[in-house]
Structure formats: structure tokens, C-alpha cells
Amino acid sequence: MLKSNFSGFSLEAGTDEAGRGCLSGPVVAAAVILPKDFTHPFLNDSKQLSEKKREALRPIIEENALTFAVSFVWQEEVDEINVLQASITGMHRAIEQLEIMPEFIIVDGNKFKDFKEIPHETIVKGDAKYLSIAAASVLAKTYRDDYMAKIHQEYPMYNWKKNKGYPTKEHRNAIREFGANEHHRKTFRLLPEQLKLKI
């Protein structure tokens, strides 16, 4: 059973991101403040939910949240500042857009930078422990998946609709065959090092 609160503050925001390990597309972050009495039987870490369940949860989270926001850090910026900084930047931008400023922030993972004067706590696997982080993980993942399905229309050969830009064998084979494009992260190792045989 996920907990509803970590800090004791009623305006506690949970924040999380999706897409860190991808070869293409943005890092997407979300921040959510839920009402104290919010519960849902299958809200959990988005990685443990089926796509269908995530899609069903998104409108429930958006309708019930006191406030929520989603931000995109595009692949060019990921290349520029590195993926960890992109995750933190994305979470900061999402919190910045909240209509109600939180009194406390709980963050999935173990890395974060101070946001204004608001106290925060990083929680490893927080998306499987706290409802607001789980809600943020669902929003980040569904918004990112929607975007990847959209750019899939333009470049169906990479099958982003299915692999969402993650380094699957199929995605890497497509990069090998068609090369990378503007949606790929140039600083990531898109293909494993080839063994060069001296003949």
C-alpha cells in the first residue's frame, strides 16, 4: 500500500521523470500535489503498470490533483547538460509550473538540487512508496509515450510507438540501417562499439 504523505505538510509535491535511459526523444518530468485523502486501488510506480492502466489513471490523477504540471526537456538540451541534469531541470520546471507552490517536495531517486527555499527529500524507488511520486511517474510516462507515438508517424522505421526510444535490439538495428535523426540524443552511445578486425 502506497503512503499518502512523507513530510506531514499537506501541500507535499511528488516529482518524477521518464525517458532517462532512452536513445531518442525528450526527458519528461511531472510534479503532482494530491489531496491528503486521495487513494486509488492500482496507482503504483508506472513501470509496474500496464500501458492500459497508466492511460486509465492519467485523467483520474489530473481531475483529482490539487495541481499538477508536466515539462519536456528536449534531446538537444539533454545532450548539452547531460541526462541527470536534464532530469533535475525537468522536475524543477514542472514544480515551477504548479498553480499552488508546495511546502515540501518528495523526489524519486537519490539526486536533486534545492528548489527555491522549499525543503525536499530524495526517496529511492519513491514511485513505489508514495502516491504523489507514483502519480507523477504515471503522468511523465504517459505524456512521453504520447509524444513518442506522435513522432513515430514521421519515422515509423524506428518503431518508437512500441520501444518509446529505449535501446532495444530493434531500435539499434534501425539506427544501424537508417542512421540517427534529429530526435536522437547525440551524446548517447547509439550503437554498441563495433569490434574492428584487422585483416
pLDDT digits (tens, 9 = 90+) for 4-63: 999 999 999 999 999 999 999 999 999 999 999 999 998 988 888 999 999 999 999 999
Question: Which conformational region is residue 179 in: left (phi greater than 0), alpha (psi within -120 to 50 degrees), or beta?
Answer: left
User: What are the sequence ranges of the domains in the chain?
Assistant: 12-178
Residue environment code for 45-64, b if the CB has 16+ CB neighbours within 10 A, otherwise e: bbeebeeeebeebbeebeeb
Q: What secondary structure, in 3-state letters, does 74-143 show?
A: CHHHHHHHCHHHHHHHHHHHHHHHCCCCCCEEEEECCCCCCECCECEEEECCHHHCEHHHHHHHHHHHHH
- CATH number for the region 12-178 comes to 3.30.420.10
Q: What is the torsion angle, in degrees rounded to the nearest 10, for the CA atoms of residue 11, residue 33, residue 36 and residue 42?
A: -160
pLDDT at 44: 85
Q: Can you tell me the mean pLDDT for 105-114?
A: 97
pLDDT at 142: 98
Q: Can you tell me the mean pLDDT for 189-197?
A: 68
Name the band, by pLDDT with cuts 50, 70 and 90, for residue 199.
Answer: very low
d(CA 90, CA 82): 12
Give the pLDDT confidence of 116-174 residue by residue, as tens digits: 999 999 999 999 999 999 999 999 999 999 999 999 999 999 999 999 999 999 999 99
pLDDT at 193: 66
**What is the identity of the amino acid at 25?**
G
pLDDT at 1: 86
